[in-house]
Amino acid sequence: MVKSTRRCRALLSVCLNLLALLLSTSAFATTYWCAGTQRVPKPTCGQQRTRHCVDDGGGGNVTDRSKVHYSWETGDDRFVFRRFHTGIWSSCEENINGPGEKCRSFIDLAPASERGVLWLSVVSEILYILLLVVGFSLMCLELFHSNNVIDGLKLNAFAAVFTYGCGLLGMVAHMMYTQVFQITVSLGPEDWRPHSWDYSWSFCMAWGSFTCCMAASVTTLNSYTKTVIEFRHKRKLFEQGLRDDRSFLHPDTFHYLQGQALGPVDQAVALYPVPTEVYPGPSRRSGREDLRDSMMEPLGEEQC
């Protein structure tokens, strides 16, 4: 029962870590961290565009420079609002002159003073994903290839440390990117600055990955702590069993077993079945008699 419970906790940690890895990789590769609209002047109407444009009255013939064209639109009517979405690597905008989108590097759009922070955010995101892979590998080793409980505990401890560290690194990376984007909104190029914007689904996936990563770390650490507590409880039961059986044990044997019980956790775990298997209740009398006979044999030989 205890072994199955420990295995369920390990399986839950592996699933959470895998989910965090998938979410972080998807968020890093997509360009929907932030999305909104940009206000740009309306283009001139032509044969392919007849709506949301400025009618020059010439049927789209703008080659004649001698003609003067007037537009009676004022305020926001003079502009068109195009959609855009931005990720870590690039920013894509709706093409108002035709179908499709136009994409630009977000690193080039960021102010020169913030590009160092943006590159640090990119490196942190990559390290975050790599540490998630390391933590996932350690958890899989502990779940599928660790038959020794002590080796499983060591893998558990390393997996918890790696997962917790990469969770903190991911949180810092997300916050740095958010800071750079907000500064770019204010100080970026005039033709890119958003009119309105909000965080999109890639941003939610990134923070969902952080949540799953920390949950996997806490679950792994909880499994490690519970296993250690179980071992200590078993060692106390073993020592109590030795004290109860001291009345019929040879003194040298008792001190030897007591020293083994007070040793490391792995030795105590290896010796745990001794009280129930070596000294069962019904055979205590026969064991005492055997010890007494073994002690009386040298005395008989000396008398002869």
- Give residue 250's pLDDT: 55
Structure tokens that stand for 267 in this block: 């030795």
| pTM: predicted TM-score of the whole model, two decimal places | 0.67
- DSSP assignments along 49-104, one per residue: --SSSB--SSTT----TT--------GGGGEEEEEEEE-SSEEEEE-TTSSSEEEE
> Which one, of 209, 183, 47, 69, lies nearest residue 125 by Cα?
209
Find how far residue 26's CA is from the centre of its chain: 13
Determine how β-strand 90-94 pairs with β-strand 101-105. Answer: antiparallel
Find how far residue 28's CA is from the centre of its chain: 14
Helix (H) or strand (E) holding 1: none
SS3 191: coil
Determine contact, residues 242/260, Cβ cutoff 8 Å.
Answer: no
- Give residue 200's pLDDT: 94
Q: What gap in Å lies between CA 16 and CA 278, rounded to an integer?
A: 43
Determine contact, residues 76/39, Cβ cutoff 8 Å.
Answer: yes
Kindly give the confidence (pLDDT) of every residue in the chain, 304 residues in length, as a single tens digit, with 9 standing for 90 and above.
556 677 787 888 899 999 999 999 999 999 999 999 988 877 666 655 555 565 655 544 444 555 555 555 555 566 778 899 999 999 999 887 777 888 999 999 999 999 999 999 999 999 999 999 999 998 888 877 766 767 777 888 888 888 999 999 999 999 999 999 999 999 988 889 898 999 999 999 999 999 999 999 998 888 777 777 766 766 777 667 666 655 555 555 555 555 554 454 444 444 444 444 444 444 444 444 544 454 444 434 444 3
Q: What gap in Å lies between CA 87 and CA 33, rounded to an integer?
A: 5
